[in-house]
Amino acid sequence: MSLLKKNLAANFAGSVWLTLMNLAFIPLYIKFLGVESYGLIGVFTTIQAISAMLDMGLGAATTREMARLGAVPGGAGGIRSFLRSVEVVYWVTAILIGLFLLVLSPLVAHHWIKATQVSPEVVQRAVQLMGVALAFQWPTALYTGGLNGMQRQVLLNGASIVMSTVRGIGAVAVLWLFSATVEAFFFWQILVNACYTLALALCLWNGLPAGDAPTCFSKKALSGIWKFAVDMAAISLVSTVLTQLDKVVLSKMLSLETFGYYTLAGVVASSLYRVIGPVFSAVYPKFVQMLQQGDLDGVTLLYHKSCQLLSLLLLPVSVVLMLFSREVMLLWTRNASTAEASFLIVSVLVAGTALNGLMNIPYALQLASGWTRLTLCTNTVAIVVLVPLVVIMTERFGAVGGASVWVILNGAYVLFSMHLMHRRLLPGEKWRWYREDVFYPLVASLSVAGAGRYFMPEHVSQVVMICYLAAVSMATLSAAALSVPQLAKDALLGPLRGRLKLTAEKNRSI
């Protein structure tokens, strides 16, 4: 098995496990803490996403630079000094983030979050604990980026599986056996984050090749990635505004309980990144290495294969979630009021996230090529146009209105940004991307899942509903698999080619 396939398999194993952990433990968090206290966990998730813009582009730059140095003869010598230099920047930033949240906690507790059942004092303590937890978690982006760049994703996902299991089981145990409070929850997050960050740091440093020069902080090592990192920092800033603005607005305009429902719907939609992330993480460093070696034909072939693979994995599950969101939420939460309050938000957020996911492989190729201007410019224009729209839609239509802007944003990207991207990086491949990589699997998924929605029986037991949804999902996946040309061709002809090659080798040996 090639390294790329091993990394893909490991990435999917890690993502599937993380998804299972979320599905298993989030209903238990709500049971022990209540929806309003769970809303504070949603606030923490939003703060994590907003703080990502302080990454300054170093995470993506680290992945790209580690992959590039690994492909350059004699490049191993600069890896250690490069990593130490970026590491210093990350840890200083982590400390500043933690201190900032500690100072800001009274303002957030008394003037921003609208809680009815949780006292402002509890909210303030929770925000302070969020700051400490985030400070320990922040450097994991560096170590994850380094392991991805070195294509040691099997090790990375093994550590992630262990971490997610310990995090979930431990949190439930703490809430059940010791204290069913949000403060206890965040104390456990602090401990797990510290241990996980330390483990990733040890894995990355122990896996680095030995260097001739001493390992030390080097401004020269940072200057080599400065332009790319600055562009990525700008992209991170505008992307964070676009993706988190709805949550910031809703956390201010809605009650904490209603925001908890929105957070729950966001968890379902963001679970799609468990499908998107593994493919992106596997092909991004491969793109970097192939471009470094000048293999443009290989890049084109890998591009379409990975786009079709992503569509095959993403579109069927997205369409099923959109059309059966009420049933999925009811089966998951086992609470009719929760399902009724959140299912429309789920459908809208899933649609937007699916559109966003389709652009991840094109985005990976842009980063591998060092071309960041397109994403920066389109995101900047989108902020100017869509920020007022978020406010208007939220005021008029509430949470569903705010979520709908996510669909508008990503639909515009698919229609316009992809045209510009293909014109520069892959001339002549645009219509193949729209037709073979996206349109065919999308139509196949909508046709089968839509038929399943139309013929769905009413008033059935949970067991029957689970079986029905499983059957519809399998049929939708099968239809999508038959619709992607390159993958279907490889699946049918690949084994035959292998047998013919083996036969030819045997004949030559005779």
User: What's the pLDDT tens digit per position in 422-449?
Assistant: 988 888 888 999 998 999 999 999 999 9
Q: Compare 490 and 80 and report the one with higher pLDDT.
A: 80
pLDDT bucket at 286, cuts 50 / 70 / 90: confident
From residue 223, alpha-carbon distances to 58, 69, 145, 226, 312 in Å are 12, 15, 18, 5, 40
pLDDT digits (tens, 9 = 90+) for 113-170: 766 777 778 888 888 888 888 888 888 888 887 787 777 778 887 888 888 888 888 8
The pLDDT of residue 56 is: 58
Q: Compare 30 and 434 and report the one with higher pLDDT.
A: 434
Q: Is the pLDDT of residue 34 over 50?
A: yes
Q: Is the pLDDT of residue 1 over 60?
A: no
Of 21, 49, 40, nearest to 183 by C-alpha is: 40
> What is the rounded CA–CA span in Å between residue 486 and residue 359?
18
Say whether pTM exceeds 0.85.
no
What 3-state DSSP class applies to 351?
helix
74 phi/psi in degrees, rounded to 5: 80, 10
Q: How large is the average pLDDT for residues 69-89?
A: 67
The pLDDT of residue 246 is: 67
- For residue 42, what are the contacts with CB-CB under 8 A and spacing of at least 6? 247, 251, 259, 260, 262, 263, 264, 266
Most confident of 26-30, 53-57, 504-508: 26-30
Residue 416 is given by DSSP the state I
pLDDT bucket at 280, cuts 50 / 70 / 90: confident
pLDDT digits (tens, 9 = 90+) for 200-209: 888 888 877 6
Q: Cα dihedral sign for 361, 363, 368, 374?
A: positive
Q: Provide the percentage of residues in the chain whose pLDDT is more than 70.
A: 79
pLDDT bucket at 55, cuts 50 / 70 / 90: low
Q: Taking all residues of the chain, what is their mean pLDDT, rounded to a whole number? A: 79
The pLDDT of residue 493 is: 40
pLDDT bucket at 498, cuts 50 / 70 / 90: very low
pLDDT bucket at 348, cuts 50 / 70 / 90: very high
- For residue 464, what are the contacts with CB-CB under 8 A and spacing of at least 6? 457
Q: Cα dihedral sign for 272, 47, 163, 125?
A: negative
> What is the rounded CA–CA span in Å between residue 501 and residue 69?
35
Q: How large is the average pLDDT for residues 248-273?
A: 77
The pLDDT of residue 504 is: 45
> What is the rounded CA–CA span in Å between residue 58 and residue 66?
12
CB 464 within 8 A of CB 457: yes
